[in-house]
Structure 1
Amino acid sequence: MTKRTIRPARPVRRTGSFKGLVFFFLLGCGLFLLLREKPQTILPPASPYVAELYRDGKVIREEEFDSAEKAKAFIDGRRGAVKRTADERYIYLTGSGIGIVKPNQTLNIYTDRALKKRHTYIAPGSRVSLLAYTDSVSRVEIAGLTGYVASDRLTLYPLEQSSNRSYYEKQGDRLLHYIVADAGLGGLITAGEAPASLDDRTMQYIESKTLTQDLRKPTALTAKQLDAYIKKNAPDSPLIGKGKTFKQVERTYRINAAYLLAHAIHESDYGRSDIAKDKFNLFGVNATDIAPGQNATSYDSFEDSIRKTGRFIARDYLSKDGKYYRGPFLGNKARGMNVFYASDPYWSEKIAGILLKMNAV
C-alpha cells in the first residue's frame, strides 16, 4: 500500500491587517490634533484707558485700566496723562501741555475761572499753551494773553508727546515766528521788528515793537511809494494806483496809510482773493470763520472798501471811545486791535511783518 505524505497547507495571508493599523494610526493622529489644547492666536482686547507717567520729558511707565477714574487715581498728582485707547486721545493730564481748539467754533477766552467775563476769542485749530487743566476749566496762554477756557473745547496733548512746537527766532532785524497750528493758521512768518535782546530761538511769546506802533500817526511813505511796493510784489494787483486813496483816508480819518495797505494785502492777497473779486472786500470785514465768503460785507468798489473800512477802524478800534478800543495799535490777544478784529491769534504779527518789509516801521 502506497503511503502518502500529507503536507500542511500554507497559511492564508491576511492582507487587511496592515490597512487596519494604518487606519487606526491616522485616526489616532486626528484625535490628537483635534483634542489637544490649541494655542491662543488672538490677543486679549486692550483696556479702554492707559495712564502714562513722565519724568524728565520721557514716558517712564504705562498702565492699563478699565475706567478713566482708576487711571486718574493711578497718576495721583504725579506728572502724567490718561489716554483713551479707542482713538488715542488724551482726556486728562497734570501739569503743562498743549490744547488744540476743536473745529467748527471759535473758542472764547475769559479773564475769570467762572467763564463769565469774556476777554477775546481765537480760531478753531489754534494751539494754546495749557498751564493748568481740570475737567471743566483750564488756564491757558496764547499770543500774550493768559486766561481761562472751557476744557471740553480743547484736544489735549502732554508736552512729552508733542514733538513739533512753535518758536521765535531772529534773522537780521526781523523777528521770525514758526507757528504750529491747524486749519491753515500755521507756517513761518515775519512777525515784525526783532527786539535787540533776542539771541537764541525761544518758545516763549515775543512781542515785536512793531505791534505797539501807534496807528493814528501818519506814515512817511507817499502814495507813489505805496503803489511801488504793490507793483514790486504783485504786478497783477488791482490795487496798483490806489496809493492815493490810502493817503486820502489817512488824512481824513487819522489812520496810518501803510498799516491800512498792509492790512488789505494780508486779508485780500493784494486784492486778488475771491472775496475781493466778488465783493470788493479788502479787509475781511464780517468774513466769519464758518462762512467767510457768504457773510463778508459787499462794497461798491475797492476805493469804497478802503474809505468805509478806514473810517470804521479809526472810529471803533483806534479811538478811545470806540466800541472795540483796546489800544491804538495792532497788539495781540491781550491788548490792541487783535483782541477783537480777528480770531487768528497772530493776525497782528502777519500785518506787522508786511509793515517791516515796506520799511514803514
Structure 2
Amino acid sequence: MKKLSIIALLMTVIGMLLWQPQLASADELTGHSHEQGLRYLISKDALVKDAKGSYRPNDNVTRGEFASYLAKAMNLESASDIVFKDVPDTYVHAKDIKLAASAGIITGYGDGSFKPNAAISRQHMAVMLERAIDYLNIPKGTSSITFKDNAAIFKDYRQAVAIGAQLGIIQGSNGNFMPVKNATIGQASSFILRLMQLADDPDASGNSNSGNSNGGNTSGGNSNGGDTNGGNSNGGDTNGGDTNTGSSKYAIKEISNGALVGNQGFSTFEAAEKAVTKNTQVIVESDKIVKMSSGYVVTNNYVALKSETINDAIAVAANTEMEYLSSDAIQVKVRLAGQVGYLKHADVSLIPFSMSKGRSYYSNENGEIKHTLYDYNTNKYSSSYVFGKAPSFMKPGEKYYSWNGVYFTNGNGSSNGEAYNYYQFLPARAQTQYTAQELDAYIMNKLAEVESTGVSLYKDATKKSKLIGLGQTLKDVEAKSQINAMLVLSLAQHESAYGMSDHAQNLNNLFGLYVYDTNPLNKKFDSVADNINELVDKFLQPNYITPGGSPGKNFSNGAVVGSKALGFNVKYASDPFWGAKIAGHYYRAEKALGFKDANNPYTIGLTTTTGLNVRTGAATSFNPLFTYARSGMPVIITSSATNGWYEVLSDKLYTGKAFVSKDYVQVINTVK
C-alpha cells in the first residue's frame, strides 16, 4: 500500500510538472492593475513589445496608438481616402488611423494634421469612445453622471464622459475624472476592454468582466446588468412578446394617429422590406425606425458626413434636419443642402412627416426673415434668429421650410420661391462702405445693447469687450487682405459672444481658432489684432477664399459665409446655419447704420460649370489666374459683359483685373 501511495504521489508530481509549461509564465503584466485589458489588446495584435521587449503599460498612450487599438479591437476594415499630412503611409499606425477616421471615430486638426505622437488626454479618449459606442450600436442614453471636477471637463465633452461613465467604460478616482490628465497604455486597454465587452466581443468575455480589474459593481453587477442593459431595456416586453421573439430582429409597424402600431416580426431586413405594402408602414429595429417611405432625418450627435457630391467629409452638428432619401439595414442615405452622403443608423433618427411633433421653420416677421429652430431632445422650439429681409413671396403668418436656405416652400406648394440672402452670399472680397469710426460707433452701441439685457455674460461689456476699438484694425485688414471688414466683424461677434467669451477674454481669441471638436488647443494671442491677422493669413486667405486652397486642403467651397451647400460653412463650422447667423450680424449692423452696403450693392453671380477658368484678360488667349473646380461658386461682377466676358473680383489675392466667360455665370437676385 505504501508503495502504491508513493507511486501515486510521484505520478501527481510528474503530472503537475508536465502541466506546468502550459500555464502562462509570469511577465511584466502579471498582477498589473490593467492586466486583463493589456492581454486583450495583445490578443488583438494591437499591443506589441518595443525594441526593449516591453509592453510599456505605464507609459502615456499617444493619439496614434489609441486610434490603432480601437481599429484593431473593433476589426475595422473599410477605409476611405482621408489623409492627414503628418501621417505618411510609412507611419507604424497609418492604416489603423485611416480606418478609425473613416469610421468617424477620430478627426484631425484644422490644419490637416492628426498629431499621432501627441499624448492623449482622458477627456479626448472619452469623445473617441463615445463615437465607437455609436459605431458599434451599443445602446446609450443621456446620462446625468457628473464628477467633482466636472467644471474642468471641456463643456462639449461632458456628455461623452457622462455616457462613458454610465456604461462603466471609464472611471474616475475619488469622485474626480481628471479630464486633462494623460492616460496610460494600461488605462487605455481597460477602457477598450470594457467597450468591447458591451459590444459582446467573445475575446473580451469570460472572467475579464469581473473581479478587481474592472472594479466590481462599476463594470458589472448593477451598472451594466440588471435593468440597465438587460432585463426590460433590451429584452422582455420591449421587443414585442410572441409576435417578435427570438430571431425576429425587425418588425413592420403602421403609423396611426401619429403613433406606431402592430408588430409583425421578421428575421432579416430584406424580408421585412419585401413585406412592406403601404406608404404608412415603417420598418423598425428595437423600436427604432430604420426605413420609411417619406420623412426627414435628424442627427443624434455630431457626425462627419462623407459627401459624395464634393467627395469630402462635412462636419454636421447634432439636431440637424436632413432630407431622407433611402436606407438599408446598415445606413441611411441623406441629403444636406444638396450634399448627398450616408450615415449610420446609430447617428440619426428617422422621422416620418406624419409623426413629426415639430420642425424648424422660416417666417416673415415684420418684413424680416426669421428662422425658428426645433430641439429634438426636448421636443420644443428652442431659439430663433433674424438674418435679413424676407423675400417678397413669403407671406406673413405662414411657416416655410427649406432644405438649403435658398428654396422655400410653405409645405403645400401654394407659396414657394427661391431667395439668396445678400449678406450670406456676398463674396468676401467685397468692400464695406463703413469707415473705422462708424464701425467703432456701432460696436459700442451694440455692446451697450447686450449689456442692458442683464445676462451675466455681458456684464460690463462696454468696458471689457475685446471688440472695443477694432474699427481701424478691421479696415487695415480690409485694405491689405481685400477681405470685407464688416464680414470679419460679424464673424467676431458671433464666435466670441461680442468679445466676452472666455477664449476672447483670456486668450484674445475672437474666432475659436484651434478649438476643434476632438482636441481644443488653448493658444493665447498677444493681441486681438494678432488673432485677426492669424484668421486672415492662416485660415481665410489660403484655405477658404483662394480657390484650390493650400496643398492637402479642400476648404475652398466659395468665398462666402454661405451654407452647407457652398461657402465657408461647408467646412468652417458644424452648425448648418452658421453662415446665416453670420449674415444676421451683418444685417443688424446695416440696419443700425443705414444700409449703406445694401443701398449700393454688388452684382453677384454663380458659376454654372466645373473647371471654369478665371483669366487675366477677356479672351481665352489670356492666362488663367485660377480655376473653379466646382460649379455654383459665387463671384462679384464689377462690369457688364464685354465681348462675352464679365469683369469680376478675383477670389485669389490679386490687384489686377480678372475675367470670366459670361456663358458660365448666372446672375442671381439677392434679398437685401
Q: Report the TM-score, using the length of structure 1 for normalisation.
A: 0.75
Report the counterpart of residue 558 of structure 2 in structure 1: 327
Report the counterpart of residue 393 of structure 2 in structure 1: 197
Report the counterpart of residue 316 of structure 2 in structure 1: 122
Q: Contact 1:254/1:314 (CA < 8 Å) preserved in 2? A: no
Cα separation, 2, equivalents of 1:183 and 1:191: 25
SS in 2 for 1:338: helix
Report the counterpart of residue 34 of structure 1 in structure 2: none
Q: Deviations over 1:312-341 (max 9, x none)?
A: 313321223434222121111111111111
Report the counterpart of residue 180 of structure 1 in structure 2: 374
Report the counterpart of residue 545 of structure 2 in structure 1: 318
Q: CA RMSD in A?
A: 2.9
- Do residues 257 (structure 1) and 485 (structure 2) align? yes
Q: Contact 1:223/1:244 (CA < 8 Å) preserved in 2? A: yes
- Do residues 111 (structure 1) and 314 (structure 2) align? no
Cα separation, 2, equivalents of 1:260 and 1:183: 33
Report the counterpart of residue 296 of structure 2 in structure 1: 98
Report the counterpart of residue 346 of structure 1 in structure 2: 577
Report the counterpart of residue 304 of structure 1 in structure 2: 530
Q: Deviations over 1:160-208 (max 9, x none)?
A: 2221101111224422111224689962112333322322421124332
SS in 2 for 1:261: helix
Cα separation, 1, equivalents of 2:349 and 2:523: 33
Residues 160, 329 of structure 1: alpha-carbon distance in 2 compared, 3 angstrom cutoff: same
Q: Contact 2:543/2:549 (CA < 8 Å) preserved in 1? A: yes
Number of residues of Structure 1 aligned to a counterpart in Structure 2: 307
SS in 2 for 1:358: helix
Residues 254, 173 of structure 1: alpha-carbon distance in 2 compared, 3 angstrom cutoff: farther
Q: Deviations over 1:247-301 (max 9, x none)?
A: 111111000000100000000001111111222111122211245xx33543211
- Do residues 242 (structure 1) and 470 (structure 2) align? yes
Report the counterpart of residue 521 of structure 2 in structure 1: 295
Structural mapping, 1:153-172, within 5 Å: 153-172=347-366
Q: Deviations over 1:144-171 (max 9, x none)?
A: 2230112333232222222110111122
Cα separation, 1, equivalents of 2:296 and 2:279: 18
Report the counterpart of residue 263 of structure 2 in structure 1: 63
Q: Report the TM-score, using the length of structure 2 for normalisation.
A: 0.42
Q: Contact 2:253/2:264 (CA < 8 Å) preserved in 1? A: no
Cα separation, 1, equivalents of 2:483 and 2:279: 53
SS in 2 for 1:311: helix
Further displaced range: 119-128 or 257-266: 119-128
- Do residues 80 (structure 1) and 281 (structure 2) align? yes
Q: Contact 1:107/1:124 (CA < 8 Å) preserved in 2? A: no
Give 1:145's aligned amino acid: G
SS in 1 for 2:423: helix
Cα separation, 2, equivalents of 1:124 and 1:151: 14
The alignment-based identity, stated in percent, is 25
Tell me which of 423, 436, 439 is aligned to 1:226.
439
Superposed displacement of residue 347, structure 1: 0.5
Superposed displacement of residue 119, structure 1: 5.2
Cα separation, 1, equivalents of 2:273 and 2:259: 16
Report the counterpart of residue 213 of structure 1 in structure 2: 426
Further displaced range: 184-193 or 350-359: 184-193
Q: Deviations over 1:19-59 (max 9, x none)?
A: xxxxxxxxxxxxxxxxxxxxxxxxx933356532248x855
Give 1:80's aligned amino acid: Q
Q: Contact 1:51/1:63 (CA < 8 Å) preserved in 2? A: yes
Task: Give the gaps of 5 or more residues in structure 1.
Answer: 1-43
- Do residues 337 (structure 1) and 534 (structure 2) align? no
Superposed displacement of residue 99, structure 1: 2.3
Cα separation, 1, equivalents of 2:563 and 2:382: 16
Cα separation, 2, equivalents of 1:299 and 1:325: 26
Q: Contact 1:326/1:335 (CA < 8 Å) preserved in 2? A: yes
Superposed displacement of residue 231, structure 1: 1.3
Report the counterpart of residue 611 of structure 2 in structure 1: none
Task: Give the gaps of 5 or more residues in structure 2.
Answer: 1-235, 245-249, 407-420, 449-460, 591-596, 599-672
Residues 195, 283 of structure 1: alpha-carbon distance in 2 compared, 3 angstrom cutoff: same
Cα separation, 2, equivalents of 1:171 and 1:191: 11
SS in 1 for 2:319: coil
Q: Deviations over 1:95-150 (max 9, x none)?
A: 222323233x43223116xxx922523123323222222233433233x2230112
Q: Contact 1:193/1:209 (CA < 8 Å) preserved in 2? A: no
Give 2:541's aligned amino acid: A
SS in 2 for 1:125: coil
Q: Contact 1:223/1:246 (CA < 8 Å) preserved in 2? A: yes
Cα separation, 2, equivalents of 1:262 and 1:289: 22
- Do residues 148 (structure 1) and 344 (structure 2) align? no
Further displaced range: 203-212 or 222-231: 203-212
SS in 2 for 1:212: coil
Give 1:124's aligned amino acid: A
Cα separation, 1, equivalents of 2:328 and 2:285: 17
SS in 1 for 2:545: coil
Further displaced range: 294-303 or 339-348: 294-303
Residues 106, 245 of structure 1: alpha-carbon distance in 2 compared, 3 angstrom cutoff: same
SS in 2 for 1:210: coil
If asked which structure has higher relative contact order (CA below 8 Å, sep 6+), I would say: 1
Q: Contact 1:130/1:139 (CA < 8 Å) preserved in 2? A: yes
- Do residues 51 (structure 1) and 252 (structure 2) align? yes
